[in-house]
Amino acid sequence: MSRPVLGVNFGTHDAAAAVVAEGRVLAAGEEERFSRAKHTKAFPEGAIRYCLDEAGLEPRDVDRVALFVDPRRHLLLPLTNLYHGFPASLGSLISDLGKFRYRNAAPGRIRSSGMFHPECRVVPVVHHRAHAASAYLMSPFDDALVVTIDGRGEYETACIFEGRGGVVVRRHSIVYPHSIGYLYSMITRYLGFRPQRDEYKVMGLAAYGSSSLQAKVNRLARFDDMTGRFRLDLAYFDHHSRPSGARQLYSARLVDLLGPPREPGEEITDRHRDVAHALQRLTEDLIGRYLAFAQRLVPLRNLCLAGGVALNGVANAAVLDSGRFDQVYVQPAANDAGTSLGAALLVDASRDRHTLRDAFLGPSYDEHTIQTALKALPEDYRIRRTERAYQRAAELIHEGKVIGWFQGRMEFGPRALGARSILATATDPNMVDRINALIKRRELFRPLAPAVLSEHAADYFDIRDSGRLMYPFMLATAAVHHGKRALIPSVVHVDGSARVQTVERQANPYLWSVIKAYEDLSGVPVVLNTSFNGADEPIVCSPADAVRTFQTCGLDALVIGSYVVERP
């Protein structure tokens, strides 16, 4: 067996680490889960230590570390900004060169961390190539069209690759400052949310809007269907012309076009909803047209998607509805966290491939660790041990309780898929408001997702066969059948859709057992599933995290390993 390869991503949002050997993922995790700092950019020390421990490795066992970017390419960023934003961009030159120096120092940061052998080789991997590998090399496809779309890598913002025989070859790219990801992030900022963090809030808000501002928002970008040339109208943006610390992402001209920006915490109005709606529709149109162009370049009917934009479940549903593709695959950490995985796979260079069929790549904890964490609870909390924790979880859900569910290895990626989840009934129409307001303490317009037994998914949702590889990762929405909407109202969004998670017994046995037991009690094979975290916190990782969050966020019960904890 060849020596394992560790992949790392840091210095940008969603720092992470992954370790692979002979094409198989041994472990992967986001640093935020270990440091408890959401979307951290820090060097992923906690994630690295976990990956090495999980794989049974000592630092001397790792002779190659794959880095998720090629630092040299970052020199193109200040040059591009000078070209597109001159003379205003002279002010950004210092910050842009600072970014280049920071990236260029990354290999030295890895070697000086003390976590590896001093002679360890750091291998840079081009960012979008790492994204592409994270999807294609984990997919079941021998041949596939691979498309990556995000804010920005070193210089590219979207790419088309041809994947054949385990090799990805780039066929086309869109380059900075023109970016579909930046378009979405700019409007995210304009609407009073945080770019590179809150885009999913804009996606949820979009369903409440109308098309009244569509023509105006469409002015922000254009795409040439024949050449694949994508252009932002840079007059409405400032990311190319101002220093990082002074950027709004949007310019005064956008304010003239759409009106005053929303301040954080300000009431959301119909105008804000309409801007979100128009942005989402424009994004879906641009993605659809880019994929159509991509398929002409690489005429294949299997598609792999990666990059942060591939987490837009509504846009993914539109891709499925287009009928262009027989199967679509998106690996669960499609954002920058997944580049640690893709970079490691490329440096591993194994001819072996293993399809990633579940996301449970993080740490698990033994009973002793769980018992120790439970000792922090007050004495009046009711704690009991049972060999049928899934049955008691189902009973609590059937009673209308909201529970924290902590089992097995933690998920890799931003979705809670049944290892670190909050579960509740989908049949109570008041459950959404209760969870959003009292437990998650977040915006009331945010939808909550259904987890459904895969064998019953088509009975409740308009499932596309082309999405069967995506639904287990909660990466695409689907319409809820009209006859079922009143039965599961807490997971139906205002537009009649839901971000579906199909649950298969073999791939996800813990969650499957809960839903099956709940079905036996209620006749409904669907539960509400949302991430196990408090307001603006990462998803829980350890038993101590779970116990602390259970105490502070208003959950009725906690089912952790073989223990059931209920409040007094």
* Tens digit of each residue's pLDDT (9 = 90 or more) over 15-41: 999 999 999 999 999 999 999 999 999
pLDDT bracket for residue 91 (50, 70, 90)? low
pLDDT for 351 equals 82
| pLDDT tens figures, 48-67 | 999 999 999 988 889 899 99
Has residue 198 been placed in a domain? Answer: yes
Mean pLDDT along residues 326-350: 96
What proportions of the chain, in percent to the nearest 5, are helix, strand and coil?
40, 20, 40
| pLDDT tens figures, 469-512 | 999 999 999 999 999 999 999 999 999 999 999 999 999 999 99
Let me know: does 10 contact 43? Beta carbons within 8 Å: yes
Same domain assignment for residues 301 and 398: no
Same domain assignment for residues 202 and 245: yes
What is the rounded CA–CA span in Å between residue 142 and residue 374?
47
Same domain assignment for residues 301 and 344: no
Cα 238 from chain centroid (whole Å)? 26
pLDDT bracket for residue 46 (50, 70, 90)? very high
> Among 41-55, 241-255, 413-427, where is mean pLDDT lowest?
241-255
**Model pTM score:** 0.95
Has residue 412 been placed in a domain? Answer: yes
Residue with tokens 């989840």: 421
Rounded to the nearest 10 degrees, how much is the dihedral formed by the CA atoms of 112, 13, 252, 228?
A: 100
pLDDT for 85 equals 62
Same domain assignment for residues 296 and 389: no
Of 159, 210, 164, the closest CA to residue 180 belongs to: 159
Average pLDDT, the chain: 94
Same domain assignment for residues 351 and 320: no
Radius of gyration, CA atoms only, the chain:
23
Mean pLDDT along residues 246-274: 94
Q: Domain containing 21: what range?
A: 1-68+95-124+336-356
pLDDT bracket for residue 77 (50, 70, 90)? confident
What six digits make up the tokens of 33?
């889960």
pLDDT for 20 equals 97
Has residue 478 been placed in a domain? Answer: yes
DSSP state of 178: -
pLDDT score of 461 more than 80:
yes
What is the rounded CA–CA span in Å between residue 316 and residue 314?
5
Indicate the residue type of 511.
Answer: L
pLDDT for 88 equals 63
pLDDT for 119 equals 81
Mean pLDDT along residues 195-214: 96
pLDDT for 98 equals 78
Look at residues 305, 321, 356 and tell me which one is the last residue of a structural domain: 356
> Among 32-46, 131-145, 365-379, 431-445, where is mean pLDDT lowest?
431-445
pLDDT score of 440 more than 70:
yes
Spatial CB neighbours of 525, under 8 Å, sequence gap ≥ 6: 452, 453, 455, 456, 459, 460, 515, 516, 518, 519
Q: Furthest-apart CA pair in the chain: how many Å?
A: 69
Mean pLDDT along residues 298-327: 98
Number of domains composing the chain? 3
Same domain assignment for residues 422 and 481: yes
Cα 518 from chain centroid (whole Å)? 28
Mean pLDDT along residues 213-223: 98
What six digits make up the tokens of 39?
């979307």
Residue with tokens 């979008």: 128
CA angle 221, 226, 230 (to 5 degrees): 25
- Please report which helix (H) or strand (E) contains residue 1, including its range: none
Q: Are strands 526-531 and 477-479 parallel, antiparallel or unpaired?
A: unpaired
Question: The domain that contains 477 carries what CATH number?
Answer: 3.90.870.20
Rounded to the nearest 10 degrees, how much is the dihedral formed by the CA atoms of 156, 129, 502, 445?
A: -20
Bridge partners, 66 (sequence order): 7, 123
Question: The domain that contains 120 carries what CATH number?
Answer: 3.30.420.40
Bridge partners, 170 (sequence order): 161
Has residue 349 been placed in a domain? Answer: yes
Let me know: does 72 contact 104? Beta carbons within 8 Å: yes
Has residue 163 been placed in a domain? Answer: no
Has residue 143 been placed in a domain? Answer: no
Has residue 166 been placed in a domain? Answer: no
pLDDT for 86 equals 66
Mean pLDDT along residues 107-128: 90
What six digits make up the tokens of 415?
């979705």
Stronger pLDDT, 3 or 334, i.e. the higher one = 334
- Residue 224 CB coordination number (10 Å): 11
Cis before 378 (ω within 30): no
Let me know: does 147 contact 159? Beta carbons within 8 Å: yes
What six digits make up the tokens of 76?
């193109």
As to burial, measured by CB atoms within 10 angstroms (0-12 exposed, 13-18 middle, 19+ buried), residue 259 is middle
What six digits make up the tokens of 20?
């692979």
pLDDT for 217 equals 98
Indicate the residue type of 238.
Answer: D
pLDDT score of 248 more than 90:
no
Same domain assignment for residues 398 and 541: yes
- Give backbone dihedrals phi and psi of 546, rounded to 5 degrees, phi first: -65, -45
Stronger pLDDT, 74 or 329, i.e. the higher one = 329
pLDDT bracket for residue 193 (50, 70, 90)? very high
Q: What percent of the chain has pLDDT over 70?
A: 97
Same domain assignment for residues 277 and 380: no
Same domain assignment for residues 349 and 451: no
pLDDT score of 368 more than 70:
yes
Same domain assignment for residues 326 and 379: no
Has residue 382 been placed in a domain? Answer: yes
Same domain assignment for residues 316 and 344: no
pLDDT for 220 equals 98
pLDDT bracket for residue 438 (50, 70, 90)? confident
> Among 151-155, 285-289, 354-358, where is mean pLDDT lowest?
151-155
What is the DSSP secondary-structure string of 98-162?
HHHHHHHTHHHHHHTTSSS-TTPEEEE--HHHHHHHHHHTTSS-SEEEEEEE-S-SSSEEEEEEE
pLDDT for 89 equals 62
Same domain assignment for residues 313 and 372: no
Mean pLDDT along residues 440-453: 89
What six digits make up the tokens of 445?
């317009």
Of 200, 206, 199, 236, the closest CA to residue 221 belongs to: 236
